Amino acid sequence: MVSEGRGRLFRRKDGKYLIYLPVYLAEDSMFPFTDFTRGKRGGSDSIDVKVSFKPGGKDKLIIEKWKAPEKQ
């Protein structure tokens, strides 16, 4: 079981950012994100995630499964 690995945060030329996760981490049987879906344009499989950080925190990034806001 692998529960951590070294990833990278890239800034692309178009100004977007990309987070790389090592294959051995993402394909581990205990990895929490497994329900991949096809992209809207037929692209590669993906999962919607919520990315956040605490104000003032300088060394942690939180990645969670995206939960759509409930309609009221």
Helix ranges, 1-71 (H): 23-26
Q: Does residue 36 lie within any of the structural domains?
A: yes
Q: Does residue 59 lie within any of the structural domains?
A: yes
At residue 17, the 3 state secondary structure works out as strand
Q: What is the pLDDT of residues 18-69, one digit of tens each?
A: 999 999 998 898 988 888 777 676 667 888 889 999 998 889 999 998 888 8
Q: Does residue 47 lie within any of the structural domains?
A: yes
Chain centroid to Cα 12, Å, comes to 16
Q: Does residue 56 lie within any of the structural domains?
A: yes
Task: Please tell me the predicted confidence (pLDDT) of residue 71.
Answer: 79
Residue in 42, 35, 26 with CA at minimum distance from that of residue 66: 35
Own/partner contacts of 25-28, CB < 8 Å, gap of 24 or more, are 28/1, 28/2, 28/3
Confidence of residue 9 (pLDDT cuts 50, 70, 90): very high
Residue span of the structural domain in which 63 resides = 1-67
Q: Does residue 12 lie within any of the structural domains?
A: yes
Q: How far apart are CA 6 and CA 18, in angstroms?
A: 14
Q: How many domains does the chain have?
A: 1
